[in-house]
Structure 1
Amino acid sequence: MMILSLCLIISLSNTILGIASPARHLCHPYQKDALLEFKNEFHYNVMAGKTESWRNNTDCCSWKGISCDPMTGNVVELDLQDSFLNGPLRSNSSLFRLQHLRTLDLGLNNLTGILPASISNLKYLRILTLYSCNLFGKIPSSLGNLSYLTDLDLSVNDFNGELPGSVGSLNRLTELRLVSANISGNFPPALLNLSELTWIDLRSNNLSKLVYFEISGNSFSGSVPPSLFMIPTLVDLDLGRNDFTGPLEIGNISSSPSRLRVLYLGENNFNGPVPRSLSKLVSLVSLDLSFWNTRKGKVDFSIFLHLKSLKLLHLSNMNTKNMVDLSLLSHLMSLGDLDLSGINLKIDPTLNLPSPIKFLALSSCGIAEFPKFIQSQTRLIYLDISANQIGGQVPAWLWKLPVLWYVNVSQNSFNGFEGSEDVIQKSAKVMLDISSNTFQNPFPLLPASLMHFSCSDNRFSGEISREICKLVYLDTLVLSNNNFNGSIPRCFENFSTTLSVLNLRNNSISGVFPEESIGVYLRSLDVGHNKISGELPKSLINCSRLEFLNVEDNMFSDKFPFWLRSLPNLQILVLRSNKFHGKIFSLIFPKLRIFDISRNLFTGVLPSDYFAGWSAMSSDVGIVDSTPVRILGRGSGFYHSLTNLQSLDLSQNRLSGEIPPELGKLTFLARMNFSYNMLEGPIPQGTQIQSQNSSSFAENPGLCGFPLEKTCGGKEEEATKQEEDEDEEKEEKDQVLSWISAAIGYVPGVLGGLTIGHILYSYKYGWFLRIFHCFT
């Protein structure tokens, strides 16, 4: 019995250890058969390469060039690079039965033949390398079905025809190598739609008709290869608004004159000197080098004098320290669009630019006088001379320019307009920005055709001028940060059918907001920091396009505007610092991102499901301005629709009841304020909530629990006991697991010791042979 018991114990121990040890045989039989069949599809020379180790009586997961998933046993990688494979890759090859392949490398083999369309059967492929395989024919369009593909290398083959447009469907592709692949025809524009592509190599092909290369507004980085400028057929090259860096090298283009007509390099991170070889691009019509970092070096503007065909020249914010004489550009007779903003300019009063300028931007150029050469620019449409040092009055001749519709003279020291009423009001201006100047009463005459008018941050006072009401085409009106008082003119109803943006912020406007002034096309309304009283105008319910509503710091006295829930596009709602009162109803705001109702007189219990349905709170948003705390959403995924709530302010109301415990699970809730209410009960347990300062919960006599000093008595003790019970239960589980772990290590040791002891003891009495038979 002792011998039998010992055999049983040893056998059981071996079984346990066998279960714990990793499986020795992973390979599925059908995958082994497929691999062996694939091996036999080719002819081999004397050196059979990696497949020489493939034997039917061994585990295929141990073969050279094979990798398996340790969990499933599936073959996931096949690397037979340079393995002396000779023969075509058949359309019915057993290779395509390996459905779980993620990596396939058959490079440097002699696969003379076409690439079969059935390659798409390997639908989980991430990496496909067929480098130097002597493949020919057309690249199959079925490649576009490999939706998981991240790396594709078909270099050094003898394909013919174009790269199929279906490659544009590989939206996970990061690297594409087609060096010396004999690709011909037009450059495949579908490649420009691959947003994950970080590496593309098309060297030494027959792409003969690359005319347009436009990748603006992406996140491409690194340096720009000089060879890009050497493509003889290239006409339009737009690399603007990316993250390209380093000094730019254009290369030697004298041997093959460039046909390049459009070159956009602006809004990148290029640095160093502007390359002088730009002057050789004599066919250029449009050139944008804006935001070029010259490292405060000097720019040789004579480079541009050779570009006689230029119609557009944008050099804004080039970070150059030298002053530029604008007369240098007087030789560019075709120039129609000029942006030199951010460059320190010298403008001679007698300067004459003979070119027909249509768009002119000279913002932040250190100009002290209104440039007189503009007077002769009768084709001028767009003028921006903002952020300079120009004072006095806007000259009368400006109103006489026949097609000028956009005028921005903001951030200067203008104090009025020259010109008669007849000339100004008949002027065909559409957009006028005179903000941040020193304008004061009387309010200036305005062109009757204005659609956008901004006069914020000036010195206007008194009641809002009724002259504004004559602007019947008005779409945007900004009168913020002045000293206007009195009520909102009822004549604002004149443009209630056109107005989309109304900003009266930070004045001293009082009275009731007139219902008739609210138009159905309103998208943004900001009347914050005034003295407006009464109720929120109910006519807002008709503004289905309303996105922004801010009435903070006024004297509105009204119930919570629950009817705003009918506005499908509302994103920002700020009611703070008024006299709104009553209960807060549960609402659904599908697009709301910012919600501030603090410092009012709201009462009642805040429902625990109050924020359910506010799905837009999961989007990335930022703090719009410096006004205190908002409700902000960030990221994706949320608990009860709102686990990424970042800031919450419900302070200084009359809210009662308990703080919803769900708020303790909002992991991104960085700041909150429940102070000065009538809340009661325990503060929800949660890392974010309990990291707040006690002032966030102050002046709520019924609140208890950390971070307040007041304990919660029974409820808190009950919660503490529950936590202790949970900890005790966890500790017991940990002890059980520890005991099992110890047993696993201890039992084999004890059994081994007992076994050896019995063997030694039994050897003396002739029992050794019996134990030996037990083992064998």
Structure 2
Amino acid sequence: MHSSINNRKTKMYPIHLLGVSLVLVIFSVSPASSCIQEEKATLLQFLDGLLHDSGLSTSWQNNTNCCLWVGIVCDVDGAVAHISLASMGLEGHISPSLGNLTGLLTLNLSGNSLSSGLPPELLLSRSIVVLDVSFNKLNADLHNLPSNSDRPMKVINISSNLFTGYFPSTTLESMKNLASLNMSNNSFTGKILSTVCVDKPFFVVLDLSYNQFHGSIPPELGNCSVLRVLKAGQNQLSGTLPAELFNITSLEHLSFPNNRLQGTLAPEHIVKLRNLVILDLGQNELNGKIPNSIGNLNRLEELHLDSNNMSGQLPPALSKCSSIRTIILKGNKLEGDLANVNFSNLPYLKVLDVRSNKFTGIVPENLYSCSNLIALRLSFNKFHGQLSPRISNLKALKFLGISHNNFINITNTLQILSTSKTLSALLIGGNFRHETMPNYDMFYGFESLMLLGLNDCSLYGNLPAWLSKLKNLAALLLDNNKLSGPIPAWINSLDSLQYLDISNNSLTGDIPTTLTEMPMLKSTHSNPLIIQLPVYVAPLLQYRTLGVVPKMLNLGNNKLTGVIPQEIGQLKALLSLNLSFNYLYGEIPQSIGNIANLQLLDLSYNNLTGAIPSVLGKLHFLSKFNISNNDIEGPVPTEDQFSTFPDSSFVGNPRLCSPTLMHHCNSAKADTISIISTEQYVDKVIIAIAFGMFFVVGVLYDQMVVSRYICFGQIYLNWNKSQ
């Protein structure tokens, strides 16, 4: 968990009262003030506690005025009032001596690599108003401080550290002036404090996200009468949303995603939160309908109810939320017609995601009046018909996912969409079943397209030449179709392509050498792929942008013949190479040992011969290796990476031997076996046919389609099948 703390992406929203609290600490200062000697010594103690100061010591000299040091601001009397050393590359610990600065109002040490604990002297300070140590490596438990005194602290930000244990209740009790507490992205445990708002008339922000809090949401939170931001997502909270919570009519941001919350959204409760701007209850266990009273939330801009058990139809009153920009409802049991909502009343809508529900009918025409729409995902529903030419009105559209519905007429669809100048990701697979892949003599369009998914359609035809015109294409998914003919020589003209999946088709001929000349598979450089809707990198972690597309080549389950070209070793950037279930023969090229970063190599179910190249053992990142059901011979290497592969990687090669396989090296039995017997050959064919039938049938199910991975190792992306 801690290794990914600094990678988590969280949105920042303007909190006006928080701004007021910051303004309170700003007053007239004089850069010419001469600093107090005792305070200079205190600052030098802090400097001594740093293992790496990134050159701070060149400014912080004992013989100079500390009021002129980098990051230091003094008041008119020469007392240190502000320390601002954010993102300075500092390492080491925070000296408790900073608590001796009696005039210190703000301390900002965020975005460094400071470690050890947080000195209690800082929380005990009788002067500090704003304390920000976020995005460091601070750890251990927080000290339980006495509650018998009133402290001026207004803003505490200890987010994105490594703190553990319980947040001390007595520490909070002594901070009557607290306005904002952000302790997100740590490992705090226990239950949410029911007294967090007691005697705090200015308390407006509470962020507990990304911790390990458990238990129910305390009803006492309803006493936070001026709270504007309440966030506790990515914890282990359970139970229902207490009715008292909806008494906080000042709430603008209510966020509890990825917990275990149950129950329904009561119409009489939702209607109270008239100031709500963001409602995020995604990835819980809520059920029931989306209440029609949600239409009374006139200020609502974001609605996240994804991955729950919500059912019923969309409430027509959602059309009244005229300020809404984001609607995420994917992964529920919603049904009916999208036309229940009059989208022409939602002019600011930018993101609509209803993936994996039970919606039916056609795409409503009024949806195309949402001219600001950037991302639209309707995948895995029961929509039918054809896309309207009016979709070209969506001039800002970058992401379109309509895969796995019942749309028809692929030729018309591509002609309409190709005119888009902004579309960068197009996922339309699982439709147009048994149609023919269109081929055009002249083709212009898709000038910004980086991701194209036309998989799972059972399309007939060849790999069309118009694909060669997509010069920005980084990922191409054509798997699970019925495409035939050879892999065209123009494949290497796709200069940006670094992810190609054309598996499970009927492609024939040799592997062309031009395929081994694809620029992005030879280069370690990667193009960024920007996707508006979330891309899933690991369970529970989602990002709105993806840095790189994984470099993969999947030609498996076709009818390719010939040898594996030696030039395959030129594709040094590959992470995954799958040539399984073809009719390839000859030896495994030694040059594959040049693909140093390879993580998956599958050459199973071919007619390959010869020995296993020992050089493959030097592929230290190789975690999945399969050469089963070929005619490989000789001993299985036991050194290097080979010691990590199971026997299943080698079975079905009767002349292959190892201490753990059926045939032991140097045994009489192994020496006498030179060819596959008729019975073994029949068995092998039966196994291949059975496996192939199981595989083809399996991929027709949505669950398997959704779960197939497109990259390997630590990277897991599911936009290839689930967008």
1:403 aligns with 2:326: no
Q: 1:290-333 deviations in whole A, cap 9, x for unaligned?
A: 4565543x43322342x33222222446544443344x244434
Seen in structure 2, the aligned counterparts of structure 1 residues 550 and 645 have a Cα distance that, compared at 3 Å, is same
Seen in structure 2, the aligned counterparts of structure 1 residues 178 and 479 have a Cα distance that, compared at 3 Å, is same
Provide the C-alpha distance between the structure 1 equivalents of 2:132 and 2:42, rounded to a whole number of angstroms: 27
Q: Is this contact kept in 2: 1:388–1:412, CA < 8 A?
A: yes
Aligned residue type for 2:422: T
Q: 1:213, CA displacement in angstroms? A: 0.5
Provide the C-alpha distance between the structure 2 equivalents of 1:593 and 1:266, rounded to a whole number of angstroms: 34
Provide the C-alpha distance between the structure 1 equivalents of 2:104 and 2:570, rounded to a whole number of angstroms: 52
- 1:648 pairs, out of 582, 595, 601, with 601
Aligned residue type for 1:522: L
1:524 aligns with 2:451: yes
> Which range moves more in the overlay, 587-596 or 368-377?
587-596
Q: 1:639, CA displacement in angstroms? A: 10
1:314 aligns with 2:241: no
Q: 1:528, CA displacement in angstroms? A: 2.3
Aligned residue type for 2:403: S
Alignment of 1:623-662 (within 5 A): 642-652=595-605, 660-662=613-615
1:123 maps to none
1:303 maps to 221
Provide the C-alpha distance between the structure 2 equivalents of 1:201 and 1:557, rounded to a whole number of angstroms: 69
Higher Cα Rg, which structure:
1
Please state whether the residue corresponding to 1:375 is helix, strand or coil. helix
Q: 1:613-671 deviations in whole A, cap 9, x for unaligned?
A: 63474xxx9x9xxx99xxxxxxxxx9966445332113345767775542132244333
Q: 1:437, CA displacement in angstroms? A: 1.9
Provide the C-alpha distance between the structure 1 equivalents of 2:634 and 2:488, rounded to a whole number of angstroms: 28
Q: Is this contact kept in 2: 1:680–1:700, CA < 8 A?
A: yes
Provide the C-alpha distance between the structure 1 equivalents of 2:502 and 2:155, rounded to a whole number of angstroms: 51
RMSD: 4.9
1:456 aligns with 2:379: yes
2:510 maps to 582
Please state whether the residue corresponding to 1:510 is helix, strand or coil. coil
Q: Is this contact kept in 1: 2:339–2:364, CA < 8 A?
A: no
TM-score (norm 1): 0.59
Q: 1:116-147 deviations in whole A, cap 9, x for unaligned?
A: xxxxxxxxxxxxxxxxx999597499989975
Q: 1:249, CA displacement in angstroms? A: 1.0
2:303 maps to 383
Provide the C-alpha distance between the structure 2 equivalents of 1:210 and 1:544, rounded to a whole number of angstroms: 55
1:474 maps to 397
Seen in structure 2, the aligned counterparts of structure 1 residues 350 and 420 have a Cα distance that, compared at 3 Å, is closer
Identity %: 23
- 1:335 pairs, out of 251, 257, 262, with 251
Please state whether the residue corresponding to 1:439 is helix, strand or coil. strand
1:50 maps to none
Q: 1:674, CA displacement in angstroms? A: 3.2
Seen in structure 2, the aligned counterparts of structure 1 residues 393 and 303 have a Cα distance that, compared at 3 Å, is closer
Provide the C-alpha distance between the structure 2 equivalents of 1:285 and 1:209, rounded to a whole number of angstroms: 19
2:420 maps to 496
Aligned residue type for 1:302: E
> Which range moves more in the overlay, 665-674 or 376-385?
665-674
Q: Is this contact kept in 2: 1:463–1:485, CA < 8 A?
A: yes
Q: Is this contact kept in 2: 1:138–1:160, CA < 8 A?
A: no
Q: 1:448-477 deviations in whole A, cap 9, x for unaligned?
A: 123322222222356666665664543222
1:669 maps to 622
Aligned residue type for 2:423: L
- 1:512 pairs, out of 429, 437, 445, with 437
Q: 1:226-252 deviations in whole A, cap 9, x for unaligned?
A: 569999564433334544322211425
Provide the C-alpha distance between the structure 2 equivalents of 1:173 and 1:189, rounded to a whole number of angstroms: 16
Please state whether the residue corresponding to 1:303 is helix, strand or coil. helix
Provide the C-alpha distance between the structure 2 equivalents of 1:571 and 1:227, rounded to a whole number of angstroms: 56
Please state whether the residue corresponding to 2:170 is helix, strand or coil. coil
2:712 maps to none
- 1:610 pairs, out of 561, 564, 568, with 568
Seen in structure 2, the aligned counterparts of structure 1 residues 663 and 188 have a Cα distance that, compared at 3 Å, is farther
Seen in structure 2, the aligned counterparts of structure 1 residues 348 and 493 have a Cα distance that, compared at 3 Å, is closer
Alignment of 1:561-572 (within 5 A): 570-572=497-499
Provide the C-alpha distance between the structure 1 equivalents of 2:87 and 2:234, rounded to a whole number of angstroms: 38
Q: 1:91-116 deviations in whole A, cap 9, x for unaligned?
A: xxxxxxxxxxxxxxxxxxxxxxxxxx
Provide the C-alpha distance between the structure 1 equivalents of 2:364 and 2:286, rounded to a whole number of angstroms: 26
Higher normalized contact order (CA 8 Å, seq sep 6+, divided by chain length): 2
Alignment of 1:51-70 (within 5 A): none
Alignment of 1:49-88 (within 5 A): none
Seen in structure 2, the aligned counterparts of structure 1 residues 436 and 180 have a Cα distance that, compared at 3 Å, is closer
Q: 1:217-275 deviations in whole A, cap 9, x for unaligned?
A: x66543234569999564433334544322211425666632x3322223443222322
Provide the C-alpha distance between the structure 1 equivalents of 2:309 and 2:614, rounded to a whole number of angstroms: 57
Q: Is this contact kept in 1: 2:593–2:616, CA < 8 A?
A: no
How many residue pairs align between the two structures? 554
Seen in structure 2, the aligned counterparts of structure 1 residues 551 and 313 have a Cα distance that, compared at 3 Å, is same
Provide the C-alpha distance between the structure 1 equivalents of 2:140 and 2:49, rounded to a whole number of angstroms: 28
1:179 maps to 97
Provide the C-alpha distance between the structure 2 equivalents of 1:140 and 1:325, rounded to a whole number of angstroms: 49
Please state whether the residue corresponding to 2:336 is helix, strand or coil. strand
Q: 1:379, CA displacement in angstroms? A: 1.8
Q: Is this contact kept in 1: 2:632–2:656, CA < 8 A?
A: no
- 1:556 pairs, out of 483, 500, 511, with 483
Please state whether the residue corresponding to 2:359 is helix, strand or coil. coil
- 2:552 pairs, out of 594, 598, 602, with 594
Aligned residue type for 1:610: I
Provide the C-alpha distance between the structure 1 equivalents of 2:642 and 2:438, rounded to a whole number of angstroms: 39
Seen in structure 2, the aligned counterparts of structure 1 residues 145 and 445 have a Cα distance that, compared at 3 Å, is same
Provide the C-alpha distance between the structure 2 equivalents of 1:499 and 1:183, rounded to a whole number of angstroms: 56
Aligned residue type for 1:645: L
Provide the C-alpha distance between the structure 2 equivalents of 1:667 and 1:689, rounded to a whole number of angstroms: 10
Provide the C-alpha distance between the structure 2 equivalents of 1:345 and 1:191, rounded to a whole number of angstroms: 42
Aligned residue type for 1:270: F
Provide the C-alpha distance between the structure 1 equivalents of 2:130 and 2:621, rounded to a whole number of angstroms: 49
Q: Is this contact kept in 2: 1:139–1:164, CA < 8 A?
A: no
Q: 1:538, CA displacement in angstroms? A: 4.4
Provide the C-alpha distance between the structure 2 equivalents of 1:353 and 1:195, rounded to a whole number of angstroms: 43
Q: Is this contact kept in 1: 2:313–2:334, CA < 8 A?
A: yes
1:251 aligns with 2:176: no
Seen in structure 2, the aligned counterparts of structure 1 residues 667 and 350 have a Cα distance that, compared at 3 Å, is closer
Q: 1:18-68 deviations in whole A, cap 9, x for unaligned?
A: xxxxxxxxxxxxxxxxxxxxxxxxxxxxxxxxxxxxxxxxxxxxxxxxxxx
1:427 maps to 346
- 2:241 pairs, out of 312, 324, 327, with 324
1:262 aligns with 2:185: no
